[in-house]
Structure 1
Amino acid sequence: MTRDETINFLRREQQIDDMKAVMSTPEGRRFIWRQLGEAGVFRPSFVAGSPDTTSFNEGSRNCGLLLLAEIMSEAPENFLIMQKEAIENERRNKKETDRNIGRGDFDN
């Protein structure tokens, strides 16, 4: 292995270790889930009549898909954990919101 190949290999290993460290905590998984959502990975990017907006959305989505591919390549088990936690958090937040609305804590 050449010096450059060794350097690239070590960099890649560090990137993988960093991603696994982030994905190993609930806080890291929430952060990544939020980033994937903001990037538009889980929604269509097409906007009828607006090719510029669609292109912009696709660029954002592509960044999210690159992150998702990295996760699925190196830590797919953590994706499943992250997805399950996101679903549980969504249910918990909905119950709390419904309870607060029922008490009149929020205005509609």
Structure 2
Amino acid sequence: MNRANATDQSSIEAARTAQATQDKLAVQNDIEDVRRLMGSKWGRRFVWRLLSKAGVYRPTFNVNAMTMAYHEGYRKYGTELLEQIHLHALEQHDLMVKENTGDR
């Protein structure tokens, strides 16, 4: 939105609608990306490595608070990815765990 239209209600509403449409498309793309990634064996293997490096499946406790905070930062991104997987590809999550833990 430019300054000339800052008080024009129709321009403001049009900009909001356009932004809402872009946001909805971005969410749909993210969902499809997670489903495609988890839908392939190589994708599940890649996600498993990311989640493992992020420390999602291990405690982050450390007597040094700064070290623990550092590990929690990694873990935060891992848990966000895990949340998306649980919401949009739960069956593939279970398969990923079986494939990577030897629980066949």
Classify the TM-score, shorter chain: 0.7 to 0.9
Task: State the partner residue of 1:5.
Answer: 20
SS at match of 2:57: coil
Where does structure 2 lack aligned partners over 5 or more consecutive residues? Answer: 1-15
- Within 5 Å, give how 1:9-88 maps onto structure 2: 9-48=24-63, 50-88=64-102
The two structures have a TM-score, normalised by structure 1, of 0.77
Where does structure 1 lack aligned partners over 5 or more consecutive residues? Answer: 92-108
CA root-mean-square deviation: 1.7
Identity of aligned residues (%): 36
SS at match of 1:47: coil
**Deviating 4+ runs (over 6 angstroms):** none
Cα shift at 1:4: 1.4
Deviations 1:15-65 (A, max 9, x none): 1111111111110001101110100001110112x1100000111111100
The structure with the largest alpha-carbon Rg is: 2
The two structures have a TM-score, normalised by structure 2, of 0.80
Deviations 1:57-99 (A, max 9, x none): 11111110011001001111110111111122xx7xxxxxxxx
